[in-house]
Amino acid sequence: AIGKPFEFPELIRAAENNQFGEASAMVFIEGRAYQVVVVPLLVPQPDAWICTGFLLDDKFAGELEKLTLSHVSLLREIKGEWQMVASTLPPALRSQTASALAKHTLREHTSMSLRLGDTDYVSLISPLDKTQDQRVVALLQRSLDEALSPVMQLLLLLAALSMTGLAGSFAIGI
């Protein structure tokens, strides 16, 4: 990139207009997603800009999955068409996710149920970045069966305790 102009000048303009002098955005370089951050180099006055970024891929989504205990997918919408950027979902479910999202009217921070394969997933959509021609969202998903398993275990325990109490009461009554 030496000798070339900075590829994302809108980030520098956004940083100049920000009271803290920084800006970040999700950008796509050769079809790959990056989170890019721009901050001023203050020596002793703003003299240059430092730009750094990191790749948003399946490995990154896996790290988020460890934190959220949910499947994480990063998707981008271009002209009404959803494309998977990164995900922790199995490959067979990735294309189904994009087509399932196309059937819903999405609002920011919306939860919904998506059926992928033969499993229902509780899904939370959260916006990450939006420009004129695209928007990028994070989709957190957890299998409904997996999410309800602790409740089902408690219900079975409650039923067993109730039956034991009922049987004990019946035996004492006799």
Higher pLDDT, 45 or 155: 155
How many beta carbons lie within 10 A of that of residue 55, not counting itself? Answer: 12
| Confidence band of 158 (pLDDT split at 50, 70, 90) | very high
The three-state secondary structure class of 101 is helix
d(CA 55, CA 62): 13
Where does the chain show beta strands of DSSP type E?
Answer: 23-29, 32-42, 46-55, 71-78, 81-87, 110-116, 119-130, 134-143
Q: Is 90 exceeded by the pLDDT of residue 60? A: yes
Please state the pTM of the whole predicted model: 0.73
d(CA 56, CA 51): 16
Q: How many helices (H) and strands (E) does the chain have?
A: 4, 8
| For residues 150-170, average pLDDT | 90
| Confidence band of 127 (pLDDT split at 50, 70, 90) | confident
Instruction: Give pLDDT, residue 129.
Output: 78
Long-range contacts, stretch 47-53, CB < 8 angstroms, 24+ apart = 49/6, 49/12, 49/15, 51/6, 51/8, 51/11, 53/27
